Chains A and B, each alone.
Chain A
Amino acid sequence: MSEVSFRQRVGALALVAPLALFIALFFVWPLVTVLKESVSDATVSHALPTMVDAAADWNRQSPPTAAMKAALVTDLRGIEDQQLFGDLVRRLNSAQAGFRTLLPKTRTAVDKSRETTAPEAVDLEEIDKRWSNPAYWQAIAGTLSPFTDQHLLAAVDLSRDGTGAIVALGADESANLTILLRTFWVSALVTLVCLAIGLPYAMLAAAMTGWRRQLLLGAVLLPLWTSLLVRTASWYILLQDNGLVNDALQSLGLTDAPLRLIFNRVGVVIAMAHILLPFMVLPIYSVLITIPKTLMPAAASLGAHPLLAFLRVLLPLSLRGVASGALLVFMAAIGYYITPALIGGAQDQMISSVIAFYATGSANWGMAAALGIVLLAATLLLYMVYGWLSSDKTARA
């Protein structure tokens, strides 16, 4: 008997294995790649291998040691790959301005004296007196570790100064924190709009019977079935300056000139709320239909005003559905890319747009990955709360 169950278990595992392997390869591995990319900074340590050992116990305060200077010369003479040298210059220049001219100049000079002077004998300060400035040496020492927190810090507008202390970036240097806060703000607005429409809608659907309930539920399910792109394109048509919404407003005499509804916050919130509304209605509805229909009449028969009965009976009972719905909507909203990209203006771009810009626009993988990690962490945290809420529900039921 136990042998049979063992064989069954092995068989079951063999059935699960192909998908597990596929998911590991094409889902987990890409996410691990993002994580690695966000903390990896191997350019300098790769290009200056002897420097890594020479600067290992330098305290960054005293002048650079002779061993470090010799190591720099050795490493610069050793770089064959032009691409690697270019990467090195770019990486160091981003840590300390000036390397763009200093490094090529130094490399040419030490290459010229390759046959005549040993690395220990080269006088770097004579080649360029900037080498007497400790800031340049601090910059090199600060980038030698193959791992860095600079991208992750920059994702929340922080950086390290020459001595390694964490400082805030100036307002004009980075806008990531602004965009992060904007993402949360827009998502919160969308969640509120969804709640304001979704809660009464779900209550109405739960209170109705027959074809009315079918109609209300169908109206929620149909958009879920419709392509996201089609819905976004449709909102584009409705909201544009000479679109249907503006036509209607003008013919009703509510406005004289067309209202600006597209390429701004209003349009983004309307379109996203429409797209995410089903995720609010369905969880609330599924909680509401489990509430006995006799509760409200019972409250009324005991003399409660309908409003009081709603506030004290129906609303508390439906809160779990509200929390699930709000979490789902918020979680989906913070990762949205397509709708803000098509309906929003420059001031409405959310974190996903910035990630896409860093990745496809400027090929800054480190920054794209670091912002991605921030978004991923926020989403998974919300998902864990959601999972905890829904498992708690089954435990109680």
Chain B
Amino acid sequence: MLKTLQVLFGAAAVFFLIVPLIAILPLAFTSGAFLTYPMPGISMRWFNELVTADAWRRSIVNSLVIGCGTTMLATVLGTTAALGLRGRVVLGGLFRTMFLLPMVVPAVVLGVGMQILFVRLGVANSYLGVIAAHTVVAIPFVVVSVSGSLEGIDRRVERAALSLGASPFTVLQRVTLPLAMPGIASGAVLAFATSLDEVVLTLFVAGPNQRTLARQMFSTIRENISPAIAAAAFLFIVGTLLAAAAAIVLKKQRQRRTGLA
């Protein structure tokens, strides 16, 4: 009796969690103009729309440009800071909290502040402004991910290198960074994913020329919903699965390495 109930509940809950992710995918291939089942036929017209319609194509390019910019900036800043936070830093706890807070603060509040400030700084409606905004919310993921992998490094390995006459910079370059690479890479993947999915800050700081794919999806759902949404969602999910696969491979790699050490 209890067992049946457990199985039923588990199945229903998994169904509730997974079905909404899957339900949208087939509609990417509909030949109709509406986002409803049953589909009148199979076609690639909505993917075609994504690459030919100016608004969609530009938004995909923008998302890639802004995503790459955010990933580079967040990974460099976050990795450097994580390396610094490893030692005993003055006010280390305060810095750590500050770097994690962007995850907590409601995006709308941050967006209002950025909009007012960016106009004054002259970076409103610019790629620079959007990349800076996205980097702020991507930083926590990089710091957490890199800090995690740095903690897993056996410091005796670095001390051994130092005692054998390697300069601190060589140790960093040849020992620390390679060992931390899985964490850095998964931080970068998370930063890219964060940027790709960011809507609220983009609404506040981006101009019409910086419309990202997520922003374009948001206004399409709001104003004139079309199956192009489903095609874009399909791209998102495929991208996510690839990123997740990459992260899992990297994690396996890390486990194997620490296993060897």
Query: Knowing A13-B89, A22-B135, A236-B221 touch, does A338 contact B200 (C-beta < 8 A)?
Result: yes
Q: Is the C-beta of A34 less than 8 angstroms from some C-beta in chain B?
A: yes
Closest A residue to B133 using CB positions: A26
Cβ A9 vs Cβ B89 within 8 A: yes
Binding site for B on A (CB under 8 A): 8-9, 11-20, 22-23, 26-34, 37, 197, 200-201, 204, 212, 215-216, 219-220, 222-223, 225-238, 240, 242-244, 247, 274, 277, 306, 331, 334-335, 337-338, 341-342, 352, 355-356, 359-360, 365, 368-369, 372-373, 375-376, 379-380, 383
Which residues of chain B are near A338, meaning CB under 8 Å?
Answer: 199-200, 218
Count, chain B residues at interface, CB 8 A = 77
Cβ A15 vs Cβ B113 within 8 A: no
Contact with A along B159-188 (1 / 0, CB 8 A): 000000000100000000000000000000
Q: Is the C-beta of B250 less than 8 angstroms from some C-beta in chain A?
A: no
Query: Knowing A19-B139, A238-B20 touch, does A34 contact B37 (C-beta < 8 A)?
Result: no
Task: For the complex, give the distance between the alpha carbons of A201 and B136 in Å.
Answer: 34
- Ranked nearest first, the 10 interchain pairs of A and B with the lowest CB-CB distance are A15-B84, A30-B113, A335-B106, A19-B81, A16-B84, A12-B87, A372-B109, A34-B113, A352-B108, A234-B24
B47 CB to closest chain A CB (Å) equals 16
Query: Knowing A12-B87, A13-B89, A26-B114 touch, does A219 contact B108 (C-beta < 8 A)?
Result: no
Q: Is the C-beta of B36 less than 8 angstroms from some C-beta in chain A?
A: yes
Q: Is the C-beta of B237 less than 8 angstroms from some C-beta in chain A?
A: yes
Which residues of chain B are near A231, meaning CB under 8 Å?
Answer: 20-21
Cβ B218 vs Cβ A229 within 8 A: yes
Q: Is the C-beta of B71 less than 8 angstroms from some C-beta in chain A?
A: no
Cβ A219 vs Cβ B18 within 8 A: yes
Cβ B80 vs Cβ A19 within 8 A: yes
Residue in B90, B143, B236, B243 whose beta carbon sits within 8 Å of that of A230 in the complex: B236
Q: Is the C-beta of B117 less than 8 angstroms from some C-beta in chain A?
A: yes
Cβ A232 vs Cβ B221 within 8 A: yes
Closest A residue to B10 using CB positions: A204
Cβ A341 vs Cβ B17 within 8 A: no
Q: Is the C-beta of B153 less than 8 angstroms from some C-beta in chain A?
A: no
Which residues of chain A are near B98, meaning CB under 8 Å?
Answer: 20, 23, 27-28
Cβ A13 vs Cβ B90 within 8 A: yes
List residues of B (93-136) whose CB comes within 8 Å of A's CBs. Answer: 95, 98-99, 101-102, 104-117, 132-133, 135-136
Cβ B23 vs Cβ A244 within 8 A: yes
Query: Knowing A15-B80, A237-B23 touch, does A226 contact B237 (C-beta < 8 A)?
Result: yes
Task: For the complex, give the distance between the alpha carbons of A41 and B23 in Å.
Answer: 51
A196 CB to closest chain B CB (Å) equals 11
Which residues of chain A are near B218, meaning CB under 8 Å?
Answer: 229, 338, 342
Task: For the complex, give the distance between the alpha carbons of A225 and B186 in Å.
Answer: 13
Q: Is the C-beta of B257 less than 8 angstroms from some C-beta in chain A?
A: no
Residue in A15, A244, A372 whose beta carbon sits within 8 Å of that of B112 in the complex: A372
Contact with A along B54-97 (1 / 0, CB 8 A): 00000000000000000000000110110111111110000100
Cβ A33 vs Cβ B113 within 8 A: yes
Query: Knowing A15-B83, A26-B132, A33-B113 touch, does A216 contact B104 (C-beta < 8 A)?
Result: no
Complex A-B: 15 CB contacts under 8 Å: A9-B88, A27-B98, A222-B21, A223-B18, A225-B240, A225-B244, A226-B21, A227-B214, A229-B221, A234-B233, A342-B218, A359-B111, A372-B113, A376-B109, A379-B105
A247 CB to closest chain B CB (Å) equals 7
Closest B residue to A379 using CB positions: B106
Closest B residue to A236 using CB positions: B221
B84 CB to closest chain A CB (Å) equals 3
Task: For the complex, give the distance between the alpha carbons of A29 and B107 in Å.
Answer: 15
Contact with A along B1-44 (1 / 0, CB 8 A): 01000100110011011111101100100000001110000000
Which residues of chain A are near B240, meaning CB under 8 Å?
Answer: 225-227
Task: For the complex, give the distance between the alpha carbons of A368 and B135 in Å.
Answer: 24
Query: Knowing A27-B136, A231-B21 touch, does A342 contact B221 (C-beta < 8 A)?
Result: yes
Cβ A31 vs Cβ B78 within 8 A: no
